[in-house]
């Protein structure tokens, strides 16, 4: 499992509420990523991090923010959740050979 | 940005037959092409990858081929088994540092016993 955990694993929240998802790694990798997975779209990159306090946007970053205050944790925040953000969210780490390994995922439902 | 197209969206084969999934990409600077397998309710798992400096790579029953000129790459699974049934995703990236992956939309492979 590449030492990656995500929390929570499932969450139901109401429109307009803030939500934070956590990704935790135990292997001290520099690069971390957040993707969302929706039917018909595959996986799409939301944000990524290339070090502590170093983050950048991916292709679907609107409505999301991230933070990385320590190497092992990468947080994804939905400031005001909308129904269009109902999805499965996967965190990934990148090893030295460029391979990415995914966490177990978080299923988020916004009602 | 990169655009990755994947075909077919569904594929059914008899056990023991071969399966081929094809992907095309748009960015000629892309140089890394992984394939992931995802079982229902599970995380995507990396099964094989290829870099642009090689044309083919094999790992037991799985092989990937890359045609840089035509900008397409394919996954070949031989002697399919029921446990190969899953959704397969191709991806492409151009990074040498951060490796932002652009994914295809997936192929649902069903192996019929």
Q: What is the pLDDT of residues A72-100, one digit of tens each?
A: 999 999 999 999 999 999 999 998 888 99
In three-state form (DSSP H/G/I as H, E/B as E, the rest C), the secondary structure along B54-101 is: CCEEEECCEEEEEECCCCEEEEEECCCCHHHCEEEEEEEECCCCCCCC
Interchain contact, B95 vs A98, CB within 8 Å: yes
For B105, what's the count of Cα atoms within 13 Å in the CB-facing half-sphere? 10
Nearest C-alpha of chain B: how many angstroms from A89?
10
Specify the 3-state DSSP secondary structure of A43: strand
Q: Does A50 touch chain B (CB under 8 A)?
A: yes
Task: Please give the mean pLDDT across all residues of chain A.
Answer: 95
pLDDT tens-digit readout, B45-91: 999 999 988 899 999 999 999 999 999 999 999 999 999 999 999 99
Between CA A98 and CA B41 the distance in angstroms is 25
Between CA B98 and CA A84 the distance in angstroms is 27
pLDDT tens-digit readout, B36-45: 999 999 999 9
Interchain contact, B43 vs A44, CB within 8 Å: no
Quick one: closest CA in A to B46, which residue?
A101
Decide the pairing of beta strands A87-94 and A106-110. Answer: antiparallel
Interchain contact, A105 vs B43, CB within 8 Å: yes
Tokens of B27: 């960015």
At A41 the pLDDT is 86
Interchain contact, B44 vs A98, CB within 8 Å: no
Q: Which residue has the higher pLDDT, B112 or A42?
A: B112
Q: Which residue has the higher pLDDT, B2 or B8?
A: B8
At B1 the pLDDT is 81
- Chain B residues with CB under 8 Å of A90 CB are 43-44
Quick one: closest CA in A to B101, which residue?
A45
At B98 the pLDDT is 79
């Amino acid at each position: 499992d590449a030492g990656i955990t995500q929390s929570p694993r499932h969450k139901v929240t109401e429109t307009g509420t803030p939500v934070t998802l956590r990704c935790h790694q135990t292997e001290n990798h520099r690069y971390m990523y957040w993707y969302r997975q929706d039917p018909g779209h595959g996986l799409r990159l939301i944000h990524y991090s290339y070090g502590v306090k170093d983050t950048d946007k991916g292709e679907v970053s609107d409505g999301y923010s991230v933070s990385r205050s320590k190497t092992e944790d990468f947080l994804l925040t939905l400031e005001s959740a909308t129904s269009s953000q109902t999805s499965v969210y996967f965190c990934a780490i990148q090893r030295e050979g460029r391979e990415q390994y995914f966490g177990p995922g978080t299923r988020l439902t916004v009602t | 940005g990169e655009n990755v197209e994947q075909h077919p969206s569904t594929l059914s084969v008899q056990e023991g037959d071969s399966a081929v999934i094809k992907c095309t990409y748009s960015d000629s600077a892309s140089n890394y092409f992984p394939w992931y397998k995802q079982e229902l309710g599970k995380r995507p798992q990396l099964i094989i990858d290829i870099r642009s400096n090689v044309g083919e790579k094999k790992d037991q029953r799985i092989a990937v081929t890359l045609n840089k000129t035509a900008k397409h790459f394919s996954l070949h699974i031989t002697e399919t088994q029921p446990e190969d049934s899953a959704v397969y995703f191709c991806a492409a990236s151009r990074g040498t540092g951060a490796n932002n992956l652009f994914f295809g939309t997936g192929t649902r492979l069903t192996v019929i016993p």
